[in-house]
Structures are given as C-alpha cells and as structure tokens.
Structure 1
Amino acid sequence: MSVIRSVVAGCGSYLPENVVTNRELEERVDTSDEWIIERTGIRQRHIAADGEMTSDLALKAARRALEDAGMTADDIDLIVLATATPDQTFPATATRVQAALGMTKGAAFDVQAVCSGFIYALTTADNFIKAGQAKNVLVIGAETFSRILDWEDRTTCVLFGDGAGAVVLTAHEGTGENTDRGILTSHLHSDGRYNDLLYVDGGPSSTRSTGYLRMKGPEVFRHAVKNLADVVGESLEATGLTADDVDLVVPHQANKRILDGTAKKLGIDPDKIVVTVHEHANTSAASIPLALDSAVKAGRIERGDIVILEAMGGGFTWGACLLRW
C-alpha cells in the first residue's frame, strides 16, 4: 500500500553569541558550578542580546535548515513554529518569520506545548503532509526563556537558555512498512492536573503580565523519566521495532540525570543518546532540533538509521516521534 511519509530534508540551528557560564552565575545567585553540573550536567547557556527576539533566533535557524535542504522560502507551503516565548501575544511569531523569509503563500502559525513543543509541531506538520495539504513544511523550535526567568531564583535560573532549531519536512512516497524513510509514528500526550509543578505565574488573562517560570524540580523529574520511557515504548510497539533497533535517541535536553534515567529504564545504550544540555542548558522547544542538528553535523546519523525524538514539558505535555532517516 502506498502512503505519504514526511522525510527530514534539512536541518539547522542557532545559538545567541552571549554565553553565560556557571561560574558567572555564581556571582549572581547562591549556587556553584559543581552543584549545577552534578545535578543537571549543564555547564553554560546562551542568552539572547537586548533586542534579539525569538523570531530573530528562529529566522537564523530556518535559513540554515533551508540551505541544508537545498530549498528556498518559495518551496515552503507551511511554517509551524513551537515556542512558549513569542515575540508578541499576537500575531504568531511564525508569521514574523514568514515575512522575513519573503514567503507570501501558504500559512504560518505557532504551537505552544512548552518543552514538548517541537514534537507537537513536528507531528502537526507530518499530519498536514500525510493529508496532502502541504508538500514542504518548515518546522521550528525557538525560545528566549531568559525573558521569563526569575534571576533571583537559583532553582530555575541556572537551568534554562535561549536558542532555535529547525527542520524541513518534505513529502515522499512510502510502502506503509517500517522500512520506509521518514516519520513512522508520533504519539502525543498531556495531563493538565500537573499544572502547578511547572508553569509561568503570569499571562494576559490572569495577571496582564508575562510572569516568571516556577518549577518543583524533584516532582517533575519523577514524572519525566516514567512518561518519556512510556511514550518511547509506545512508539516502538506501534512500529514493531525494539530498543535494539534504535540507532539514536534525540531527547529534550532538560537534565542529564533525566536522560540517563530514561535510557536505563528503556535498556538503551547511553552511547545512543544525544546529549547537548551541557552546551546550552534547557532551551525548551528549541532543544530537540538543536541536538538533532548537532548530531547530523557530527556525522552521528546515517541514512536508514532509526531515530527517536522525545520530550516532556509543562502542562504536563509529552510525546515522541520515531523516524527512519
């Protein structure tokens, strides 16, 4: 049976020039380089410059992804941008990227699922392609989380950074078997009962302000390991594959301990887990495409490889995409 598959045609990423190390944070809050590394694996984060917006980061990543795919904005039918830190309440940040690229056809919109945002955006784009409503889709994850951090809260401000990553998905014909290239399965979940474990204490309809990120770290950690292992298992079962078939896992880069715990629970070799959290901290919706681009540029992914992308974020939201490169 012939089916339409969404294949990754190109990827790109961008990190702001300003790097803030753990040592520098020691001068601002009661923390230490050793404490941060031991508990999170983070060594530094990139912070957007004054006047540098989420759309600016997204645009640079998007242009690199288009170049990698050998495409221009004229080839793109749709932009789906995942972010929890938009330039404005409205319009969508995706439309600002659309305008900057010179793209005047198709559509552009944002998706908000916090750290799971890129998985949600990728799944949305895949469904547009499978429905025949788009052939080439630009999927972006971009964040300026530094703008919603309480820089006096040492439990959160050391964990996050700014950045953007993007991929171009393109339609290919497949057979419907797990030997096809492209996205083979996607699984999304949410559970709003856990709002108070990871949230921002502001918003247009509540406080008329942006607010700051608040988190109960130990509780989030426990849910993350279980939920991520479950959704990866769900993806493998849906495709008839096993953990041994997986060539690479590209997880949301939140915390090295979460990455290690998830790999152990799944029985996946730690060497198959892409880890970049030490370089840029938690960049929310941007972290998976940042890690993916890093892996591609390092030659860690070859055509035909089975790759799993997985994430969990505030809401709670979580999900996974399994694809053959």
Structure 2
Amino acid sequence: MGGVTTLERIESFLPERSVRIDDLAGSLGLRRAEVGVFRKIYGLDRLRFDPGTGLFDLVLPAARRALAALPAGRRVDYVIYAHTMQTLAPPHIDAARVIRAKLGLHDAEAFALTQQACVSSLGAIDLAGELLRAEAPEGAYALMVTGERAYSPKVQLIPNSAVMADAASACLLTVGGPGDEVRSYLTRTLGAYAAGLEMTPQEISAFGQDYATVLGEVIEESVRRAGLSFDEIDLVIPHNVNAVSWRHTIQRMGADPDRFFLDNIPLYSHCFASDVFLNYTTLRERGRLVDGGHYVLVSVGLGATFGAMVITHREGGTP
C-alpha cells in the first residue's frame, strides 16, 4: 500500500464543565499571586475539568464521530491510543484494547504510544502511515485517538508553565485518500531535559532558554521538508501550553503573530496530546481552513520532544 498519509476525519471532544483557574487554586496549592501570573502573563483563564468523567467517557465520543467517516466496506486495521502520561489506568487494564472493544473494531490491532509525551499524537499519525504503507491491504484505515484526564494535582500542574485540562480527539487516516495530505513530520528530542517534571532549577532554566529557539527551528525545518516556505503557510496550529511561550517563539522566529492560532489558550488551557486537534476542529467550525491551504501542527512534550507536522487541507476530504 503506497502513497501519502491522508487525514480523512478529525474530531475533538470537551466535557461540558468549565472552570476558572482560580477555582483550582486550592487543590493545586497556588497562591493568589501565582494565579495572577498564570492569568496575566501565561494567558490562561478557563479550562474544561470534570472529575466525574471517566477516561473512556472522555475518549470515545470523538472516536465514534471520526469513525462515522469510514467509507462503507472499508476496515480499520490499527487503533492507536496516543497519550502523554505513561500510566492512565490500573495495570490489569489495557486502555487501547478497551477502546478498540468499545468501538467494535475487534479485528484491528490496538496499542498505545506515549514515549514523546504531548507530541505522541503527531508521532502516532506518522507511525500509522508507515504501518499502512508497510503491511496493510489497499484501502485500509487507522484510527488515532487521544484523551486523558488531569486526575490529580501532581499531573494537572506544570509549575511556571501550564495547568492541564480534560479533552480528547480522534483522527481517521489512510494512505492516498482525499483528505488532508501530510507533507512532512519532524521531531527533535533534547535528552538533557529527560527528567521532565523532576528537572533541577538549573535544568529548568536551561530548558527555558533553549525552548523558543529549538521550537522555531523545528517549525521552519518541517516547512522546508514539505517543500514550502514559511510565507506559504496559512496558519500554525499549536498546542495550548501558554501564551508567553508562544510569544517568545514567534519573536525568535521573527514571524507574524497572526499566523499562529492562540485563541483557545484562555478557553481550554493545555489538554495533553489533544491540543492541536482541538484547535484544528475549532478552525474548521469557524470556516478558517482553506482548501489547498498549508498548516503546521505543532506540539512540545516534556522529556523534551519538539514536533511539527505540515499538512495541506483538502476540503472535499474532511467535510
């Protein structure tokens, strides 16, 4: 099975319950001044957070909507659950297999991918395309799903960076279809920061100094590998970590801030591996995805992996 990876349907899901970051200050141990910093400097305001929503209740709605675009007579060969945190369920529960079963995709191979943290969703798309080309029959599909809950204060707060929120997404993809064409995918991992949340103050400072430069380089290189110039990119569709990190990156790149979609940061905050797809569906609903337009999906994962994927939107492929 040859050809280019195409994204046939992207969906996202948000719990209805919306809270302000002020409402979480007590559980996260944030002082009033720290909340003020998150709000005024990092650009955070509200987020979706519902402790009563189970993991699979969060993941399945977007997955079901994406599967509705599967053409009659076609099959899904792979279900890939991409998530940020390594542990999301008790050891005896294989979440990817549970998702497969609940979706009725019993003949699909199901597995999880998490090693690149919040970039894992983009990595899962790249991997799914390689698997489809290498071993799947003509016309086969893969389903990539995301979604994880900020189930404790320890995983909900990234100090001096982000407050994590609940969301999920799904992407139905194939090879050589009419959907959005994947033009390039690039990652860069800085292993010096592998400790993530356990980094020392010195490592955190160094990571902050490297962040904007490396992220800008990854975006620009992904665009070059797609055979494009940055002037040909309609929008960068990023993760929602915070506004100040993106302002620094944009400044370091010397780019136009209007080319970066940051509207959802104060509305939804950072949603693990789901951000770029949540932002994609927001843009689609607003009519801002142009047929033939070029977009860069971008995320950064603790550990530290920087990832960027360039796609060309095809209006007829993703209604």
TM superposition score category, shorter chain reference? 0.7 to 0.9
Query: Please, what TM-score do these two structures have when normalized by structure 1?
Result: 0.82
Q: CA deviation at 1:301?
A: 0.8
Counterparts of 1:19-168 in structure 2, within 5 Å, are 19-26=18-25, 28=27, 29-31=30-32, 34-50=36-52, 52-67=53-68, 69=69, 71=71, 75-85=75-85, 86-89=88-91, 91-112=93-114, 113-133=116-136, 135-147=140-152, 149=154, 155=159, 159-168=163-172
Question: Which amino acid letter does the alignment assign opposite residue 165 of structure 1?
Answer: S
Q: Quick one: distance in 1 between partners of 2:311 and 2:3?
A: 13
**Residue 205 of structure 1 aligns with which residue?**
none
Rate the CA distance shift 1:181–1:16 in 2: closer, same or farther, 3 A: closer
Rate the CA distance shift 1:311–1:252 in 2: closer, same or farther, 3 A: same
Question: Which amino acid letter does the alignment assign opposite residue 172 of structure 2?
Answer: V
**Residue 172 of structure 1 aligns with which residue?**
176
**Residue 211 of structure 1 aligns with which residue?**
none
8 Å Cα contact 2:162/2:242 also seen in 1: no
Runs (5+) with no aligned partner, structure 2: 314-319
8 Å Cα contact 1:198/1:215 also seen in 2: no
Q: Secondary structure at the match of 1:198?
A: helix
Render the CA deviation track for 1:108-152: whole Å, top value 9, x for unaligned.
Answer: 11110211111111111121233252621111221212436267x
Counterparts of 1:239-254 in structure 2, within 5 Å, are 239-254=226-241
1:300 aligns with 2:288: yes
8 Å Cα contact 1:187/1:321 also seen in 2: yes
Q: Quick one: distance in 1 between partners of 2:7 and 2:38?
A: 34
Rate the CA distance shift 1:165–1:154 in 2: closer, same or farther, 3 A: closer
Rate the CA distance shift 1:109–1:302 in 2: closer, same or farther, 3 A: same
Render the CA deviation track for 1:255-300: whole Å, top value 9, x for unaligned.
Answer: 1112222233334322221221211111111111111111112111
Q: Secondary structure at the match of 2:236?
A: strand
**Residue 207 of structure 1 aligns with which residue?**
none
Q: CA deviation at 1:240?
A: 2.4
8 Å Cα contact 1:150/1:157 also seen in 2: no
**Residue 279 of structure 2 aligns with which residue?**
291
Rate the CA distance shift 1:220–1:64 in 2: closer, same or farther, 3 A: farther
8 Å Cα contact 2:297/2:309 also seen in 1: yes
Q: Quick one: distance in 1 between partners of 2:144 and 2:162?
A: 28
Per mean C-alpha deviation after superposition, the further-off stretch among 265-274 and 250-259 is 265-274
Rate the CA distance shift 1:44–1:291 in 2: closer, same or farther, 3 A: same
Rate the CA distance shift 1:295–1:144 in 2: closer, same or farther, 3 A: same
Q: Quick one: distance in 1 between partners of 2:183 and 2:240?
A: 23
Rate the CA distance shift 1:154–1:227 in 2: closer, same or farther, 3 A: closer
Q: Aligned-residue CA RMSD in angstroms?
A: 3.0
Q: CA deviation at 1:3?
A: 5.2
Q: Quick one: distance in 1 between partners of 2:165 and 2:109?
A: 29
Counterparts of 1:242-281 in structure 2, within 5 Å, are 242-275=229-262, 276-281=264-269
Q: Quick one: distance in 2 between partners of 1:231 and 1:128?
A: 24
Rate the CA distance shift 1:10–1:181 in 2: closer, same or farther, 3 A: closer
**Residue 317 of structure 2 aligns with which residue?**
none
Q: Secondary structure at the match of 2:32?
A: coil
Q: CA deviation at 1:96?
A: 1.3
Rate the CA distance shift 1:267–1:73 in 2: closer, same or farther, 3 A: farther
Q: Quick one: distance in 2 between partners of 1:154 and 1:316?
A: 14
Question: Which amino acid letter does the alignment assign opposite residue 145 of structure 1?
Answer: A
Q: Secondary structure at the match of 1:131?
A: helix
Query: Please, what TM-score do these two structures have when normalized by structure 2?
Result: 0.84
Q: Quick one: distance in 2 between partners of 1:57 and 1:150?
A: 17
Q: Quick one: distance in 1 between partners of 2:160 and 2:14?
A: 20
Identical aligned residues as a percent: 22
Render the CA deviation track for 1:295-324: whole Å, top value 9, x for unaligned.
Answer: 112111122111111111111112111111
Render the CA deviation track for 1:81-116: whole Å, top value 9, x for unaligned.
Answer: 111342234544221111111111121111102111
